A = this chain, B = another copy of it.
């Protein structure tokens, strides 16, 4: 059931519980010590994610709508507000590892406290009131799902910095993969309508539905694989300025990049750190943990280009994706395409797909008043749009109109490449 289609109290409560339980499932394999560090500013401590998502419900629902509600702890809003200036001062983003207290067990208690009161709220309010708070409630659930994906990528990063290279979970049975031939599928030019037009939940950044004119183009039938990316590496592409945006080249040189994040050579063979420990690179699996710069350089090297977000959305209208390798598969890493399948694959799941579109407002975009208005709009600069979800995304979280966004140098997300041609 898509998050947003639940409207009856019971459905919503069930959805709430499922969503909250999923967060705890993700954190279960962790030691308390794992939940507190912040190796880079992009990564938040898992404990912080667990508390922050609860703070969201406490702040925007319980304190507003549950009569007599007392906040769990008077300092938690200061500790666990992320970036909502409207809500007040807070721990600076790069200081989240100072929060060794409250200990993890207190955060679990906080979660229980919030969950009990959310249940109380939902069971006590009128249908009318329910409809009034539904948008914020849905936003809270979507928000928690976004943090579930961040939890996975942040845990991966935290474990990767540890010299012991610890395993998050053992791998489910690993199948031998096979190569799927790349080919390019036609998307006819014309006028396409962009943005969300349904009745369910969507983020404000998907609104401002508008038409764009596109010319004919071709889109690759699957994601670019590790094997293809290895050819790019072995061709000396990281050293060849011709393929790179100028700022990408500067990053490559400053950070001595020569491979995707998490790749390392051992005994002359490329391995990658995965959620299941260090493994040999599988040439048929999609390449991931690359920056936009690397995606763009790869496309240039291959004589192709990246899609714009409008082309991606148009393609998803021509080739509507049904399902994909999402977090529910419990694989937590991208999987190889299926050589037995015709046509489009992997448009959903496996890896987010970098587009050559800046994350800017659609025409007519307006921010909600107050804190909720800070959700998306204030980040609409210097970031690039990604589409399609990944192996860390909940299936009922994604839409073809969904706009994810990261700075072009970020590599710790499950981001990958799909090519366009002419």
A75 to B293, CA, bound (A): 33
Question: Is the Cβ of B246 less than 8 Å from the Cβ of A99?
Answer: no
Interface residues in A59-81 (C-beta closer than 8 Å to B): 75, 78-79
A248 to B377, CA, bound (A): 13
In whole Å, how far is A342's beta carbon from the nearest beta carbon of chain B? 28
In whole Å, how far is A415's beta carbon from the nearest beta carbon of chain B? 15
Residues of B within 8 A of A210 (CB): 213, 215
Are A213 and B212 CB-contacts (below 8 A) given A36-B37, A101-B33, A244-B378? yes
Identify the closest chain B residue to A213 (Cβ).
B211
Cβ contacts A84-121/B at 8 Å (1 or 0 each): 01100001000101111111100000000000000000
A381 to B250, CA, bound (A): 13
Identify the closest chain B residue to A293 (Cβ).
B381
Which of A31, A75, A356, A422 has most chain B Cβ within 10 Å?
A31
Chain B binder among A155-163, A255-263, A270-278: A155-163
Are A382 and B408 CB-contacts (below 8 A) given A31-B101, A158-B100? yes
Tell me whether A304 is interfacial, beta carbon within 8 Å.
no
Question: Is the Cβ of B100 less than 8 Å from the Cβ of A31?
Answer: yes
Which of A33, A95, A360 has most chain B Cβ within 10 Å?
A33
Question: Is the Cβ of A164 less than 8 Å from the Cβ of B246?
Answer: no
Question: Is the Cβ of A162 less than 8 Å from the Cβ of B32?
Answer: no
Question: Is the Cβ of B242 less than 8 Å from the Cβ of A363?
Answer: no
Question: Is the Cβ of B98 less than 8 Å from the Cβ of A39?
Answer: yes
Cβ contacts A210-227/B at 8 Å (1 or 0 each): 111101000000000000
Q: Among B79, B166, B361, which residue has its beta carbon within 8 angstroms of that of A163?
A: B79
Q: Among B162, B191, B215, which residue has its beta carbon within 8 angstroms of that of A100?
A: B162
Residues of B within 8 A of A37 (CB): 36-37, 97-98, 100
Tell me whether A231 is interfacial, beta carbon within 8 Å.
no
In whole Å, how far is A409's beta carbon from the nearest beta carbon of chain B? 9
Interface residues in A141-194 (C-beta closer than 8 Å to B): 158-159, 161-164, 166, 191
Question: Is the Cβ of B36 less than 8 Å from the Cβ of A101?
Answer: no
Residues of B within 8 A of A361 (CB): 356
Question: Is the Cβ of B378 less than 8 Å from the Cβ of A246?
Answer: yes
A272 to B85, CA, bound (A): 29
Identify the closest chain B residue to A212 (Cβ).
B213
Question: Is the Cβ of A39 less than 8 Å from the Cβ of B97?
Answer: yes
Question: Is the Cβ of B242 less than 8 Å from the Cβ of A85?
Answer: yes
In whole Å, how far is A32's beta carbon from the nearest beta carbon of chain B? 4
Interface residues in A221-258 (C-beta closer than 8 Å to B): 241-242, 244-249
Tell me whether A206 is interfacial, beta carbon within 8 Å.
no
Residues of B within 8 A of A381 (CB): 245, 247-248, 292-293, 408
In whole Å, how far is A30's beta carbon from the nearest beta carbon of chain B? 9
Between-chain CB contacts (< 8 Å), 24 pairs: A31-B32, A31-B100, A31-B103, A33-B33, A33-B101, A33-B104, A37-B97, A37-B98, A37-B100, A75-B163, A75-B164, A99-B163, A100-B162, A101-B162, A191-B213, A212-B212, A215-B363, A215-B364, A244-B378, A245-B379, A249-B378, A292-B381, A358-B360, A364-B422
Where the two chains meet, the residues of A that have a C-beta atom closer than 8 Å to any C-beta of B are: 31-37, 39, 47, 75, 78-79, 83, 85-86, 91, 95, 97-104, 158-159, 161-164, 166, 191, 210-213, 215, 241-242, 244-249, 292-293, 356-358, 360-361, 363-364, 378-382, 408, 422
